């Protein structure tokens, strides 16, 4: 059989190269996922453990590390080191809180302020906020993330975020913003 001069003699090298390329892509993808898994941390905290995002502050942070080595047996067993960071949460009497009403529900800010005062927080006069927020928010100043997460019990379902504008809630450490969906 006569073939033209551009006709391939065999398709073997093509499929070999294609297979190598697919294997290479799969290996690179697996390496990326492995690195993401290793550097992402533990996505499943221990049951009952509370995870509170903490911003950098000037407070003292206690850190402990422990390691145990058993050398009585021929093989050596080492317990994994555990690092624990403890950030003390201030008492309500040490936290200044203001409630901002962004939904126009008459008296809602004042009633929430009274609940916070009854719980021992230093409260400021409730005020209104424009534009309306959706959902409700708990904003905190630097160093008050843990306290904002504690105050979250008064406003379930709210987002906890650093305060977006330092002028909002001047003088307060934590700002509760009553947003869309808030009900009493």
pLDDT tens digits, one per residue of 22-61: 999 999 999 888 888 887 765 444 444 444 544 433 333 3
Q: Are residues 110 and 171 in the same domain?
A: yes
The C-alpha atoms of residue 101 and residue 126 are separated, in whole angstroms, by 8
Report yes or no on 71 lying in a domain.
no
pTM: 0.54
Q: Domain span at residue 147?
A: 92-178
Strands 159-162 and 137-140, bridge-based pairing = parallel
Q: Which spans in the chain are helix H?
A: 12-40, 108-118, 145-151
Same domain assignment for residues 103 and 163 = yes
The model's pLDDT over 110-150, given as tens digits with 9 standing for 90+, comes to 999 999 999 999 999 999 998 888 889 999 999 999 999 99
- Mean pLDDT value across the chain: 77
Residue 34 lies in a domain: yes
Token pair in block for residue 57: 């502050």
Q: Is residue 80 part of a domain?
A: no
Classify residue 54: in a domain, yes or no.
no
- Predicted pLDDT at 72: 47
The proportion of the chain whose per-residue pLDDT surpasses 70, expressed as a percent, equals 70
pLDDT at 10 over 80: no
CB 175 within 8 A of CB 126: no
Give the CATH number for residue 162.
3.30.70.2390
CB 175, CB 138: distance < 8 Å = yes
Q: What is the count of structural domains for the chain? A: 2
């Amino acid at each position: 059989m006569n073939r033209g001069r551009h006709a391939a003699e065999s398709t073997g090298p093509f499929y070999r190269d294609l297979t190598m390329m697919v294997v290479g892509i799969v290996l690179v993808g697996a390496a990326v996922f492995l690195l993401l898994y290793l550097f992402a941390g533990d996505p499943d905290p221990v049951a009952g453990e509370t995870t509170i995002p903490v911003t950098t502050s000037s407070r003292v942070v206690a850190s402990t590390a422990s390691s145990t080595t058993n050398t009585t047996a021929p093989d050596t067993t080492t317990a994994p080191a555990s690092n624990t960071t403890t950030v003390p949460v201030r008492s309500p009497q040490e936290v200044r809180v203001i409630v901002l009403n962004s939904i126009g529900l008459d008296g809602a800010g004042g009633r929430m302020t009274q609940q916070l005062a009854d719980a021992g927080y230093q409260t400021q006069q409730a005020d209104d906020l424009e534009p309306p927020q959706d959902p409700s928010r708990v904003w905190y100043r630097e160093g008050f993330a843990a306290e904002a997460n504690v105050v979250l019990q008064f406003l379930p379902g709210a987002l906890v975020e650093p305060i977006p504008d330092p002028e909002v809630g001047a003088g307060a450490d934590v700002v509760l913003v009553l947003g869309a969906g808030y009900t009493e």
